[in-house]
Structure 1
């Protein structure tokens, strides 16, 4: 919503004012909100509703802050990455070796977990899986923790796996501003894709991407930007457009056993949503804007098929997101697949082995 030019606020950019308001609300919210987090592996998409995201408006320029989430903006950017440097060797025995590796993303040193099969290098190099983890509070995230079983399974089956941290996670530089209100994590991942290609033992023509929860959001948006990503697998993904997130979201309070609140633009945990809707109108009122930030409207650019997995008992991300996204995928990507697991949770723990087998088979079909 445009600010009145005749007020003193005209001396400040819209994004500056928005940041100041958020900072004030954030301080108040901190002291009146239960900030405890569930202590469980593969913490779900708390990032969809944390204050970190609400501060994710770039005040360095007078640009409309929504520009950085527009697909056209991402398509125009370059993602050169850098040489992928091994900074620490963790393991070299057994079926695979693991390392901590670093690369450059927008001048920031980023880190990730690199896993390399110890088997003989194929003639053209190993196929690659870029592994996009779900939301984990940046201050709790450790490069070497979580998702071990997933990475082990793929590496034992002949894949180089690289799990980027995202900025400000563990050793990675930068500020963690969340996965939805800006595109920083997507930029980091696309620079990781470029960087993995510098390894002489990988096949740059056989790159796939796996994503969980928020990592699914990163995965499907990355696949309309970078044509070198040949296929994707998404578990319990935040997939679709921003309008889907607004219409079908299940907010943080559900996981806490609290009642699902009605939409409230004054609630600091959903300000990025209210900012967009107040500034640009609803999806029905302003379809042009909402199309510009939605990867669904760019699926004709999708770089390969996507396999979706979702449990109907997921209280973090509704299965309806995957179901709706799959309906959008079918006309443009007929080789895409959807698997729904009745009663299963956000991590598909009851059907983990089956989902992993299906994931591997899908990658093999495109990458081997």
Structure 2
């Protein structure tokens, strides 16, 4: 591939009905295999697709089938991307607070908006001038919520976008900074963060500020890259493009095994996750249902991935696999690699932003 594996709906979009058909097949396959993983009491079994490489292929039609012979649509596990795709997203009420920073080209404000009935805080960069301006929603990487402060994690990117003439909304996520607490207690596999990012797009569109509603992109770093993958999968057509830097794996199992299970500080949440949803080997349908790669066939936006070859936090093989699977699913994806660059991006950060600018100018004309 030579490293190139290279709307506007403001409301929710429910996935095509073929997802439901595949979910039914997944349930049948799981029953035949004798899989009976743990589940949340009262919610029913996980019914996510069992094949992450071809999750959205509809079953072959039967010549003898009639409408009455078709199976009823399966109900997805409540903690799954299919369930999130059916959500009535309610982002709005973007409110500007105090001005917290300023350059010659833009100003930044503390902000709040509504997401799933919660108040979520963030930072907003607004270019000088009348606009309207293209916009980006920024999804930051993992920082312990107990020490996270408003706007932390993508300070360089937020300032760069503001100076380049973009409105940039940095999402703190629920449970962070001035946001309301995370009602899931960490058991929603971070799908709540995905909901907050989707609702941030809707909040920007509902704001009476200088935003061009037809030119919005998602930008994520590390864990935030995974959040962006999720958002693209559950709301195809919501935005125009996406960029991720040093992203986590598009497979939820990789991320759980890399950070959550082995971390003594998160031993409690790891045990609760396994108790509720089961080990990946025992309940693969659930883990596929919270993995973005299972639904790459739903993604309609071009994606740019930046990754350093010396990243010891998120290994570059994850992005190579993600790019390959996206390409196989028909996604317009570009993987840019940076020799010797580590997770946080240092010497090559300027180059990565120049490439980001060119990519967004092409897709947010």
Give TM-score, length-normalised by structure 2: 0.72
Question: Residues 327-346 of structure 1, C-alpha deviation per residue, up to 9 Å, x if partnerless?
Answer: 01113345311012222211
**Aligned pair in 2 of structure 1 residues 80, 325: CA closer, same or farther (>3 Å)?**
same
How much has 1:272 moved relative to structure 2?
Answer: 6.1
Aligned ranges for residues 148-159 of structure 1 at < 5 Å?
148-159=155-166
Contiguous gaps of at least 5 residues in structure 1: 1-12, 16-60, 254-260
**Aligned pair in 2 of structure 1 residues 324, 69: CA closer, same or farther (>3 Å)?**
farther
Question: Residues 28-47 of structure 1, C-alpha deviation per residue, up to 9 Å, x if partnerless?
Answer: xxxxxxxxxxxxxxxxxxxx
How much has 1:241 moved relative to structure 2?
Answer: 2.2
Question: Residues 156-195 of structure 1, C-alpha deviation per residue, up to 9 Å, x if partnerless?
Answer: 1111000011112111111374597241111111111111
How much has 1:299 moved relative to structure 2?
Answer: 1.4
Question: Residues 293-318 of structure 1, C-alpha deviation per residue, up to 9 Å, x if partnerless?
Answer: 33212212113011111112212111
Question: Residues 214-245 of structure 1, C-alpha deviation per residue, up to 9 Å, x if partnerless?
Answer: 10110010011222121111111113122444
**Aligned pair in 2 of structure 1 residues 350, 93: CA closer, same or farther (>3 Å)?**
closer
Contiguous gaps of at least 5 residues in structure 2: 1-37, 47-76
Moved more, 205-214 or 298-307: 298-307
Match for 1:208 among 205, 208, 217? Answer: 217
The number of equivalent residue pairs is 294
Aligned ranges for residues 84-233 of structure 1 at < 5 Å?
84-91=94-101, 94-121=104-131, 125-175=132-182, 177-178=185-186, 181-200=189-208, 201-226=210-235, 227-233=237-243
Separation in structure 2 between the aligned mates of residue 333 and residue 127 of structure 1, nearest angstrom: 26
Q: Which residue of 2 aligns with 1:336?
A: 333
Q: Is the 8 A contact 2:173 2:179 kept in 1?
A: yes
Q: Is the 8 A contact 2:113 2:121 kept in 1?
A: yes
Give TM-score, length-normalised by structure 1: 0.71
SS at match of 2:99: strand
* Relative contact order higher in (CA < 8 Å, ≥ 6 apart): 2
Q: Which residue of 1 aligns with 2:80?
A: 70
Aligned-pair Cα RMSD in Å = 3.0
**Aligned pair in 2 of structure 1 residues 334, 78: CA closer, same or farther (>3 Å)?**
closer
